[in-house]
Chains A and B, each alone.
Chain A
């Protein structure tokens, strides 16, 4: 029995977190958030993602990738969530997954090395269909190609016309895409679309888990120091018990995201249940933890100057993506009460 990250996976985690701490901290995130005219896609971060293998993680080695599994990818997603990092990492990794799972040999040879190196930016949506309008696509405005529904399957659409959409989560940029027909991905059966959606759901859950853990960690650090009534506010049981419950909840969500990634990669029979458990749990705890982050910082937590709103708003955005907690609970009910 070994239910844990391997040493290699831990090292990957430390690399991503180390880079963000030193080179793209919350001041850098703030600069992106406040640059409302910008594209939300900082070049330095993207360069690092390409050079350090964050984008190559799931691309097979024969296409210049690292050929690692979804467990490693969820490690990166979690670290990016913890750093509230902006940019089209997830869209690009998932577009590459779509090509890997359903693309022709030519499509794989053409796209996968470029995705892996960060030379092409990808996006994905299962809302709307091509040709037509694809609403509120993450980083649609900077994507070279978007994976979208087309007919009964999926297509790779280039050259879509982008109209930015305002969104209060400044760490994730959105755009409506007016998409042409694109090129069909020939292997995109219903099963492959489900698999792709499961992978997307796991990576979003992992990001939320990273957000939630960071919210708790920062709140604990603050409440150990902040004094009221002559004592640290973290010495009050009203706060202790809430943070203890959140710590348990976030830990469970960490387990759930880790297991879901493994279950999807290994095609375990309970993978659909594992994915829904992970997303339901991660969505709930991220919303709870980021709301608690504001509450247990007091007034300062409600200000623009404080970082709590980056995490809170990111949680609000991602909790609803690829099925919110209620939608996944309905799936869980379907799976366990036939």
Chain B
């Protein structure tokens, strides 16, 4: 057992900390600061800050240097995720690109794609969206009906795309969207799909915000009306989009669990502080509920160390990612349900005794979404039961 990081990893932590300390304005870390900005302004600030961070060498931490990465270890990536949370750093503006698209491009992209996609993404010159879910294809992703028809008649060899995507993060701020499209007419289910890389700045693409139950609009809808994309802008083989999508989703795992623990543990401490301030911290039922959530949070931390160990050993975690998702998302939701128990009959109030509860309520509302996106808890349980335990389909 060795739960420490190497000297080089700890040196990286010191460098990163020092850069973050010097480059995050004090006012950005004040409660309510980001909520006080309008959505466009907030996005622009985050986009530019992240670009500066990349230029300082703190991006693509564990990516090979040939792709503009830092060439670091999985441990450094875990440290990076953790320190970003600790420093209250702005959220990434390009999460879907960085987490999913970039490693997929590195794995199966053409040389031209590697060159054209990864660098501009690191510098936030191109913000990427993910076009998977559709109104008729949620948990049943293979029911995709957005279609792409080859138009070889023009001077260029394009696909013409029609259909609709939904729950698209950063839809209104996106530049390009990696999109699962049915490119073989009449094909069924997992067959005949392609992962097309579509430019969103064209008349055939219309992105609209969706207002969430929290009131915020972090995602939206994307409509394709004769949108055009060159056939060469396909990631993986044409017709093999499902395979590309599965590879892409497999990159969701990794070291981020330690950062999640750090963030959730801070929220637990905030909720415990509210309990104390309201005199609810002596209630044995509230204490037991908080302790139950804390137990699960500690398990999440240990699970993250387990995952990081497996990654460092070069082992494939496979379907274990479903367990990771269940543990963090269900625990996070439970945490915010306990918050309501702490508030008791005043659960919905904006403020109690001068204490502004709205930022906490926003988190509590967000917690309803985490057991849906990225594979609902019900889907994750099916995957765990069938692929891990081997129960029959």
Task: Identify 27 residue pairs between A and B in the complex whose beta-carbon atoms are under 8 Å apart, listed by A's number.
Answer: A3-B3, A4-B310, A216-B389, A220-B389, A224-B391, A239-B391, A241-B385, A247-B385, A251-B303, A251-B323, A252-B299, A252-B302, A255-B302, A255-B303, A255-B306, A259-B302, A274-B298, A280-B291, A329-B291, A330-B284, A332-B294, A332-B295, A333-B287, A333-B291, A336-B272, A337-B275, A337-B281
Docked complex: A248-287 residues within 8 A CB-CB of B: 248, 251-253, 255-256, 258-259, 262, 273-274, 277, 280-281
Q: Choose, from B101-109, B187-195, B365-373, B376-384, the stretch at the interface.
A: B376-384
Report the separation of the CA atoms of residues A90 and B384 in the bound assembly, to the nearest whole angstrom.
34
Q: Residue on B with the closest CB to A223?
A: B391
Docked complex: A1-18 residues within 8 A CB-CB of B: 1-4, 6
Please state if B390 and A252 are interface contacts (CB–CB under 8 Å).
no
Chain B residues near A333: list those with CB within 8 A.
287-288, 290-291, 294
- Is A71 an interface position by the 8 A CB rule? yes
Report the separation of the CA atoms of residues A101 and B277 in the bound assembly, to the nearest whole angstrom.
42
Pairs A-B, 7 closest by C-beta atoms:
A240-B385, A252-B299, A329-B291, A255-B302, A3-B305, A333-B287, A332-B291
Chain B residues near A258: list those with CB within 8 A.
302
Please state if A232 and B392 are interface contacts (CB–CB under 8 Å).
yes
Question: Do A252 and B303 form a contact, CB below 8 Å, given A243-B389, A337-B281?
Answer: yes
- Pick the contact of A256: B299, B312, B381, B391 (CB < 8 A): B299
Report the separation of the CA atoms of residues A336 and B296 in the bound assembly, to the nearest whole angstrom.
14
**Distance from A153 Cβ to chain B, minimum over Cβ atoms (Å):** 30
Q: Residue on B with the closest CB to A225?
A: B392
**Distance from A40 Cβ to chain B, minimum over Cβ atoms (Å):** 33
Question: Do A3 and B302 form a contact, CB below 8 Å, given A71-B1, A223-B391, A333-B290?
Answer: yes
- Pick the contact of B288: A2, A223, A247, A329 (CB < 8 A): A329
Chain B residues near A224: list those with CB within 8 A.
390-392
Render B106-120 as a binary contact track against A, CB cut-off 8 A, 1 for contact.
000000000000000
- Is B393 an interface position by the 8 A CB rule? yes
Chain A residues near B42: list those with CB within 8 A.
none
Please state if A248 and B1 are interface contacts (CB–CB under 8 Å).
no
**Distance from A217 Cβ to chain B, minimum over Cβ atoms (Å):** 9
- Pick the contact of A244: B290, B300, B308, B384 (CB < 8 A): B384
Please state if B384 and A247 are interface contacts (CB–CB under 8 Å).
yes
Render B161-189 as a binary contact track against A, CB cut-off 8 A, 1 for contact.
00000000000000000000000000000
**Distance from B363 Cβ to chain A, minimum over Cβ atoms (Å):** 19
**Distance from B328 Cβ to chain A, minimum over Cβ atoms (Å):** 11
Docked complex: B250-299 residues within 8 A CB-CB of A: 268-269, 272, 275-276, 281, 284, 287-288, 290-292, 294-296, 298-299
- Is B327 an interface position by the 8 A CB rule? yes
Please state if B299 and A277 are interface contacts (CB–CB under 8 Å).
yes
Please state if B299 and A255 are interface contacts (CB–CB under 8 Å).
yes
Question: Do A3 and B308 form a contact, CB below 8 Å, given A248-B323, A329-B288?
Answer: yes
- Pick the contact of B385: A243, A252, A337 (CB < 8 A): A243
Report the separation of the CA atoms of residues A232 and B390 in the bound assembly, to the nearest whole angstrom.
12
- Is B386 an interface position by the 8 A CB rule? yes
Q: Residue on B with the closest CB to A71?
A: B1
Residues of B within 8 A of A (CB): 1-5, 75, 78, 268-269, 272, 275-276, 281, 284, 287-288, 290-292, 294-296, 298-300, 302-303, 305-306, 308-310, 312-313, 323, 326-327, 378, 380-382, 384-386, 388-393
Q: Residue on B with the closest CB to A9?
A: B1
Question: Do A1 and B381 form a contact, CB below 8 Å, given A259-B302, A262-B3, A336-B291?
Answer: no
Chain A residues near B284: list those with CB within 8 A.
330
- Is A237 an interface position by the 8 A CB rule? yes
Chain A residues near B5: list those with CB within 8 A.
1
- Is A326 an interface position by the 8 A CB rule? yes
Report the separation of the CA atoms of residues A262 and B385 in the bound assembly, to the nearest whole angstrom.
30
Report the separation of the CA atoms of residues A280 and B302 in the bound assembly, to the nearest whole angstrom.
15
**Distance from B298 Cβ to chain A, minimum over Cβ atoms (Å):** 5
**Distance from B144 Cβ to chain A, minimum over Cβ atoms (Å):** 24
Report the separation of the CA atoms of residues A273 and B291 in the bound assembly, to the nearest whole angstrom.
11
Chain B residues near A337: list those with CB within 8 A.
272, 275-276, 281, 287, 290
Chain A residues near B294: list those with CB within 8 A.
277, 332-333, 336
**Distance from A225 Cβ to chain B, minimum over Cβ atoms (Å):** 10
Chain B residues near A330: list those with CB within 8 A.
284, 287-288, 291
**Distance from B241 Cβ to chain A, minimum over Cβ atoms (Å):** 28
Question: Do A220 and B295 form a contact, CB below 8 Å, given A1-B5, A333-B290?
Answer: no
- Is A194 an interface position by the 8 A CB rule? no
Give 14 A-B pairs besides A1-B5, A252-B327, A258-B302 with Cβ atoms closer than 8 angstroms: A3-B308, A4-B310, A6-B1, A224-B390, A234-B391, A235-B393, A244-B381, A247-B389, A252-B299, A262-B3, A280-B295, A281-B295, A329-B292, A337-B290
